[in-house]
Amino acid sequence: MPVDVGARRQSARILGQDFASPFVLGPTGLAGMLWPHGDIETARATVEAQVGYCLSTNSNCSIEHVARDGRKDFWFQLYIQRDRVMVRSMLDRASVAGCSVLCVTIDLPVQGPRIACAGRARLLDRSALNL
């Protein structure tokens, strides 16, 4: 017997936030290398789609820039770094920006050698990073 799906809803409440669909776009580091202000544009797209957004520690855009120009209610993903002062600063900035959810990434206790990326690393403007 067919089931009536005329009144279906796919909205969801995830960690205190309501979304039209049960999706949160996970952190995508350095999106700005693919498109100018890529993280801001991605945040705006998630507002339009009414789904969640998690800003990467490795964003090309600052936490403050995303909060001002992208969306107000984003989550923040944190890679724990050895520099605890920098980590504390990022946490404080995320809190001030209004991030309500912190996603802590623990799958990278030691960075591996990335020989293939060594040449490209020189092209990266570190001042544009979210550090």
Q: What is the pLDDT of residues 39-64, one digit of tens each?
A: 999 999 999 999 999 999 999 999 99
How far is 50 from 45, CA to CA, in rounded Å? 8
Q: What residues pair up with 75 in beta bridges, in sequence order?
A: 54
Band of the pLDDT at 118, cuts 50, 70, 90?
low
Cα dist. 56→10, 46, 121, 126 in Å?
A: 26, 15, 18, 15
* Mean pLDDT confidence for 79-97: 93
Phi, psi of 27 (to 5 degrees): -65, 130
pLDDT of residue 125: 47
Q: Where would I find the beta strands (DSSP E) of 1-131?
A: 12-14, 17-19, 24-25, 52-55, 75-79, 102-105
